[in-house]
Amino acid sequence: MAERFVNDYLLYLLARASSEVSAQFHQRLKTHGLQVAEWRVLASLSDGDGMTIGELAARALQRQPTMTKIITRMADAGLVERRPDASDRRKVRIFITGDGRRRVDDALADAKAHEQEVLADYSPTEAAQMKSMLRALVDRNGASPRED
């Protein structure tokens, strides 16, 4: 029998790898009381300055109207807050709150542990190459997070 097309098709392989590995981590997220979209927002905000809704939508793999709703729920829950942009008051930036940081800190440690488990069968060089190639694939084919 001939090899199936999808078994060597890049988009299938990327989707399958993402699905398998993400499903494992998403189960772990439940123990932290976070939904996937909330995790992506908090992780994105955890180590930097605030971001616009558009930037967060791109990083969290959501459409902007959906991200606006997610941010509203998270702000109501005290996990994030909206602030005017310091350089352009027409823009709003989203920042993580103390409560948001407390919620995400353990999940970040769990994410790092999960990543180590996923990459355990790869040498450090192979793991670095895999990440580098995936970043290059995203950079060459993906849209940059846009400003609102």
The answer to whether residue 146 is domain-embedded is no
What is the pLDDT at residue 73?
97
Residues in the chain with pLDDT < 50?
Answer: 146-148
Q: So what's the pLDDT on residue 3? A: 86
pLDDT of residue 76: 97
pLDDT of residue 88: 86
Tell me whether residue 89 is in a domain. yes
Q: What is the CATH number of the domain that holds 19?
A: 1.10.10.10
Check the CA dihedral 9-121-142-147 and report its sign.
positive
Residue 72: inside a domain: yes
Q: Output the pLDDT for position 143.
A: 62
What pLDDT, on a 0 to 100 scale, did the predictor assign at position 77? 96
| Three-state helix/strand/coil letters over 49-97 | CCECHHHHHHHCCCCHHHHHHHHHHHHHCCCEEEEECCCCCCCEEEEEC
- The number of folded domains in the chain is 1
Q: In the prediction, which pLDDT does 101 show?
A: 95
